[in-house]
Structure 1
Amino acid sequence: MKELTRKGFLAGGLALLAAGAARAQKGPMLAYADGLKEGWWIGGWAKQTPAVPLEDQKPVEITMAAWNVFTFQTWQKLNGADFKTLTLLVHGGPKGKQEFTLRLRLGEKAYESQVTLKGLKGKWARYDVPFKDLKIKDGQFDTIELRNASAETLEPFYVNYVILQ
């Protein structure tokens, strides 16, 4: 986890996108960056508001009641072998301390491996999650799932710049 400003993230992350555009269509791929990208939609049953102004960004605001799920979904089956890292920015809002899991799914089939992420009080944190930690290997997926795995409601938090690379 790295604390990061938008300017620093854009300088590094978008340079990777530009480099990837010259390669085959195997990524990088944006799911969300100041709004949903073409071919992606939001699912789950957590309360969410896309493109909420926060500092100089427009993240999706997420409020999860106990056991809630929030997803970024696409209509296409993506190959895990085409990507090495899933990157996203998380802001904990004024209170922070949110803890939720990240995992991948193909339809209703969820991969068992998950990674825990945390919202930091009043600041952005960059998470670079290696696909090997999600144990998808050569499997396919179409959903990025964030889950509140507790009986407690989480304070609102924000997610932006969801990039598969």
Structure 2
Amino acid sequence: MSNMNRRLFTAAFAAMAFAGPVFAQETAPAAPQPMVIYDDVLAPGWNNWSWAKTTLSTDIGSDVKPISMQSEPWQALFLQHAPFSTAGYTKLTFYVNGGPTGGQTISVKALIGDKPVDPGYTIRLNANTWNVVEVPLADLGAVNQTISGLWWQAQGQPVSTWYITVIQLE
């Protein structure tokens, strides 16, 4: 062993000796991959159980194929799934566009035990503009819960056509 290699070996050995015992470090569990709910089409396992006028994969003359919705008061876009745990997820994200008129007030709700969790998270849509919405699951009462779907519900007035796409849990 050359003098140079011996010095490097001795220095490395000394550093380990004075550093104390080496223990395996705990690592935080990996966050789950985003759960895609809708991106031009419904993801497998998700169903459209809406009781508002909805159209999936709407052709709006671009590469985006959103869900379009219009409704009477209290009707909703309802995306249903067999019950699953939200453990590891912290927020629901999606893109919305208020269509030509905008101004619609929509309440977003998670369903636990097939019942919506009130009061929900209220959003107001902008006309002809795509906006990303990030809803903390804590605001939906859905942190570490077993949910069976999500609602986007019109409030006390009719809702003109609006669009939603790229819906996922993160």
Bin of the TM-score, shorter chain as denominator length? 0.7 to 0.9
Q: Residue 130 of structure 1 aligns with which residue? A: 136
Match of 2:8 in 1: none
Structure 2 counterpart SS, 1:87:
strand
Structure 2: which 5+ runs fail to align?
Answer: 1-28
Name the counterpart of 1:142: 148
Q: Is the Cα contact below 8 Å between 1:113 and 1:135 reproduced in 2?
A: no
* CA RMSD between the two structures: 1.7
1:63 alignment partner in structure 2: 70
Q: CA deviation at 1:113?
A: 3.8
CA contact (8 A) 2:89 2:143 kept: no
Q: Which has the larger radius of gyration?
A: 2
1:111-165 superposed Cα distances (whole Å, 9 cap, x missing partner): 2241111221111010011111112232210111111121x21100001000101
How many residue pairs align between the two structures? 141
Q: Which consecutive unaligned segments of at least 5 residues does structure 1 have?
A: 1-22
Under a length normalisation based on structure 1, what TM-score does the superposition of the two structures give? Answer: 0.79
2:160 equivalent to 1:155: yes
- The percentage of aligned residue pairs carrying the same residue is 26
| Aligned-partner SS, 2:160 | coil
Take 2:64 and 2:96, find their aligned partners in 1: how far apart are those partners? 12
The alpha-carbon deviation at position 24 of structure 1 amounts to 6.4
TM-fit CA distance, 1:107: 4.5
